[in-house]
Structure 1
Amino acid sequence: MDSSRSSQRPTTSQKPLGVSTETDIETGPREVRSSLGSQGGVVVSEDSLKLPKVDGGKDAWLFLVGCFVFEALVWGFPFSFGVFETYYTNNLPFSQHPSGIAAIGTCSSGGMYLIAPLTLYILEAWPSLRRLSSIFGLTIVVTALIASSFSTQVCHLILTFLYAPTMFYLDEWFINKKGLAFGIMWAGVGTSGVIFPFLLTTLLDAHGFATSLRVWAIAMLVLCLPLIHFVKPRLPTPAPPLLRQPISYAFLFTRTHVTLQLCNILEGLGFFLPAIYLPSYAQSLSLQPIAGTALLATLNIFSVLGSIGMGFLCDRLCVHTVIAISTAGATLSVFLLWGLATELPLLVVFAATYGFFAGGFSATWAGMMKEVQRVSTGARMGTLMGLFAAGRGVGAVLSGPVSEVLMRKDHLGGGGEDGRGARFGYGTRYGVLIVFTGVSAGFGLLCFGAKRRVV
C-alpha cells in the first residue's frame, strides 16, 4: 500500500516510501521491513532503530526548516529573474540582442523542472545515492552560476542545474501532513522572492551582473552546505545498499494522470510570465524604478501564503476542489486586475492576488500524487513528482519564446506602444501577453476531467 491511502487511525496503510510498518505511526513501528519485500527483506526491531516520529517532533521540523531554506536559495534566483530581465534589456552587451532574454529565466527554472524525472528516477531506483546527490546538486548550482557570470551573450546564460532529493525525505518525515509540509517547503521560493529582488537590484546597480552572480554562487555554497546535515532521511539506508528497485509506469496513460498532467502543463505556460514581465511592465508605465522590484516582492510574499494554504487544503479537501480554487483566483486576477491596471495600487493588488492563488498551485502536486496513487497503487512518489515537475518545466521552457512572440504582436488598442496613455493594461504592448496568461491559468479547470465517477 502507499502512503496516500489513509484511515482514521494511521496504521500499516500509511507508511513511508519503501517501508512497511505494523503499528501506529505516532508511537513508531515495532518492525520495519526494507523495500526488498518478500525477496530478502530484513526485519529490525523498533528498539534497534529508534526512528524519530513522523508528522512532528524536533527532527521533522528541523528537516522541514532545512528544506525551506534550501528551496529558497536554489529556486530564489530563477524566480526573481524579472530583476535580471530588466537589467539585461537596458544594459550592454545583452541589450544588443534582446530577443532571447525572456528565455533565460524560463529555461533556468524550466531546466530544473525538466531534469527532475531523470534525477528522481535515479534516486528512486538507487536510494543509497540520495545523500551524495545533495552535494553533487549544490556543486552543479554553484558551477552554473559562476559560468554564467562569464557570459557575454544571451545564449551562454541558458544553463540548468540539478536539485537535491528532498522529496524522498519529506515522504518519510510527513504522512498525514504531507500536503502542508510540501506547501511549507515550497513557500521557501516565495520567501526568497521577497528578499532577493531588492538584494539583486542593489548588487546589479552597484557591481553589474558578473559580480552579482559570483556573490550569489558564494552565498549558495556557504549557506547550503551546512543544511545538508539537517536535510536527511528519516529511515536508515539498508546495508549493503539495495539493488536497483523496480519502478512501474502502468499509471502513465490512465485518465487521471493524463488529465492532471495536461492541466499542469497548460497552467505552466503562463505561470511564470507575471514574475518575468511585471518589472518591465511597471517601467513601461513610467512608474518609479523601485516599483517593479516591489511588485515582484509582493507577488512572492503572497505565494508563500498561497503555498502553505493550498498545501493545508490538500490534506483536507479533494484535490480537484483545491485546484479549482487556485485556478479561479489566478484567472480572475489576471483578467480583472492586471488587464485593467495602469497604476501602481491596482498592480499591487494584482501581484498579491495572483501570488496567492497561482503561487500555491505547485502545492497541489501532493494531492495530485495521492489521486493517481488511488487509481494506480503501483505509482511511486518519486516517479510522480518527477513527471509533474517535468510538466511544469515544459510550460516554463515554452513560455519564454512564446511570450517573446506575443510581445511582438500589435497591442489590443487604446494607448501608445510604451503603455503611456493607455486606459487599461490591455491597451499596452503587454495586452496580448496578459490575455495569454489568463487563458493559460484557466486551463487548471481541466482537473475535473480526472475526477473519478462514483458508481
Structure 2
Amino acid sequence: MSQTSVELELIRSQVGSPEQGTTDNLDGNAEFSLPPVDGGKEAWLFLAASFVVDALIWGFTFSFGVFQDYYSQHEPFTSSSKIAVIGTTSAGLLYLLSPIALGIYRLFPRYVRYATPFGLLIVLLSLTLASLATSTTTLIALQGVLYAVGGTIAYTPTILFIEEWFAARKGMAYGMVWSGEGLASAVIPLILQRLLTQYGHQTTLRASGVAIFIVCAPLSFFIKPRLPPSNTVATRPWELKLLFSGIFAPYQLGNLVQGTGHFIPSIYLPTYARTVLGASGFLAALTVLLVNIATTIGALVMGVLTDRLPATTCILISSAGATLGVFLAWGLSSSLAVLYVFCIMYGLFAGSFTATWPGIMRALGHTRESGEITGIDPTLVFSGLCAGRGIGSLVSGPLSEALITDMDWKGHARAGYGSGYGTLIVYTGITALVSSSSFMWKMLMTARTSLRQ
C-alpha cells in the first residue's frame, strides 16, 4: 500500500461521515490539507513542546531523591518510615493513570486540546498545597497522588498525538521526548538542592509548581493533533483482549518486574552517598544528576535503535547493561568514584528501558507471518505497558522500605553489599535481569520451533 493510500485510510478511520461534511472529496484532497508526517515545522514544534512538558512533569518526579534526603533530616518528617512512598506514588500513578486518561481522551477527542493546561493547573495546586503539609501522609496525598493526577492529564496528550505526527521515525520521536525527562532530571535536582538548602521545602514546592506552570502553559498551544479534532469520532478506548494475550505477557512481565526495582536507586542514591560514603549535599545530589544525564543519552540512542532493531534485542541491551552495573559497580562501590560509574551505567541502560516501548508497540502491531498491520492500536499497547510500570512503581515504595528496615547484611559483606543497602542492591539487580524476559521467551520459542522442524 502506498504512503498516500495509508494516509487516506488513516483519515477515513478517524474522521466523521460524509453527511457531516468531513470526508467529501477525500481522494481528491479538496477539503484536507494535512501537515506532513515525520517532519515539517508543525511536527517539530509539537515535538519540542512535548519534550518540555514531559521533561518538567516527569523530571520533577524523578528528582524526588533530593526531597527524600531532605525530608529524612528535617522535622516534622524525619521520623517517618514512609517518605519513599511519596516519590514512588507520584511516579507509579503517572504511569498507572495514563491508560485511564488515554481512554477518556479517545471517548472525548474534541476536548483533548484543553487537557494540558488544565492538568498544569492541578500540578500548581498540588505543590502549593503540599507546601503546607505537616505530615508524610499529607505529602503522599498531595505531592504524590494529586501531583500525579495533574501531571497525567497534562502529559498524556503528547502520547496520543505523537502517533499522528510520526510514523517511520516514531522511535526517534518517542526517544527524543523521553530523553527530556532525563535532561530535566539532571538539572532539577541541582536547583531543588539549592532551594531546599536556602529556603526549605515550603518555598521550594511553591516555586516548583509556579515554574512548571509558567514554562509549560504557553507551550500547550503546540500540543495539538495532526488530524482535525473536530471531525474525530470517539473510538473504543479499552480493548483489553491484548493485555491478556500470550504474545503481550512476556513484555509485560519484564516491564512490571523492572518497574518494582527501577526507581530504587534514584530514591536512595543521595542518602546512600551521604550516609555510607560521607558525601556532602552537592556530591550526594550529583548521583541523581549523573543517572539522569545518562538517561537522556540512553533514551535518545535507544529511540533510534528501536527504529532499526527488534524490540527484544533493544530490551536485552538495556537489561544486560543495567544488571552488570548494579551487581558490579553499585554492589562493589566503596568510593564515590565507583558509585558515579554505576550512576552513569544505570542511567544509560536501565534509564533507556521505556524507550524500547515504541519497538514493542511496533512488534505487536504486526503479525509474525506476513508483517501486515493487524489493527492493534499502539496507544493500547502503551497503556498496558504504563499500567504494568505503574503497578511496579507503587509496589517499589513500601517494598524498598521493607528491604532496608533491618539492614540485615550490614557488616556481614563487603563494599555496597555490606553497607546496609545490600538487599536493595541485589533486588534491583534481579529486577534488571528479569526485564529481559521477552528476549528469553523469544529464544525459547525459536528453539522450540527448530526442534519441531
CA distance in 1, matches of 2:355, 2:415: 32
CA contact (8 A) 2:88 2:396 kept: yes
Matched residue of 1:373: which SS? coil
Cα distance between partner residues in 1 of 2:130 and 2:398: 20
The equivalent of 1:29 in structure 2 is none
Q: Distance in 2 between matches of 1:144 and 1:185?
A: 24
Q: CA deviation at 1:409?
A: 3.1
The alpha carbon displacement at 1:403 in A equals: 0.4
Please tell me the residue identity of whatever aligns with 1:116: S
Matched letter for residue 161 of structure 1: V
Partner SS, residue 133 of structure 2: coil
Gaps of at least 5 residues in structure 2 are: 368-372
Tell me if 1:95 matches 2:78. yes
**Structure 1, gaps ≥5 residues long:** 1-6, 22-31, 416-421
Q: Deviations over 1:193-217 (max 9, x none)?
A: 1111110011111111111110011
Q: What RMSD in Å do the two structures reach over aligned CA positions? A: 2.1
8 A contact 2:303–2:356 mirrored in 1: yes
For the 8 Å contact 2:259–2:393, the answer to whether it is kept is yes
Structure 1 equivalent of residue 290 of structure 2: 298
Alignment of 1:135-284 (within 5 A): 135-158=117-140, 159=145, 160-162=148-150, 163=152, 164=154, 165-239=157-231, 242-245=233-236, 247-284=238-275
Structure showing the higher helix proportion among its residues: 2
Write out aligned runs for 1:351-366 (5 A). 351-366=343-358
Residue 120 of structure 2: SS of its match in structure 1?
helix
- Describe how 1:384-403 pairs up with structure 2 within 5 A: 384-403=381-400
1:428 paired to 2:419: yes
Q: 1:122 aligns with which of 92, 101, 104?
A: 104
**For 1:151-193, what per-residue CA distance to the aligned partner results, in whole angstroms no more than 9, with x for missing partners?**
1100111123232311111111110010111010001110111
Match of residue 57 from structure 1 = 40
Q: Does 1:20 align with 2:1?
A: no
Deviation at 1:386, TM superposition (A): 1.7
Q: Give the superposition deviation at 1:320.
A: 0.3
Matched, 1:308 2:300: yes
Distance of aligned partners of 1:351 and 1:246 in 2 relative to their CA distance in 1, 3 Å threshold: closer
SS of residue in 1 equivalent to 2:436: helix
After superposition, the C-alpha distances for 1:54-80 in whole angstroms (9 at most, x for unaligned) are 111222111111111111111111100
- Which stretch has the larger CA shift, 310-319 or 48-57? 48-57
Q: Is structure 2 residue 296 aligned with structure 1 residue 289?
A: no
Deviation at 1:378, TM superposition (A): 3.7
State the partner residue of 2:318.
Answer: 326
SS in 2 for 1:337: helix
Distance 1:204 1:56, change over 3 A: same
Measure how far apart 1:231 and its partner are: 1.5
Tell me which residue corresponds to 1:42: 23
How many corresponding residue pairs? 426
Give deviations 1:386-429, integer Å, cap 9, x for gaps.
221111111111000000011013342547xxxxxx84100111
Alignment-mate amino acid for residue 61 of structure 1 = W
**Percent of aligned pairs with the same amino acid:** 41
Instruction: Give 1:291 shift.
Output: 1.2
What is aligned with 1:85?
68
In 2, Cα distance between equivalents of 1:75 and 1:252? 25
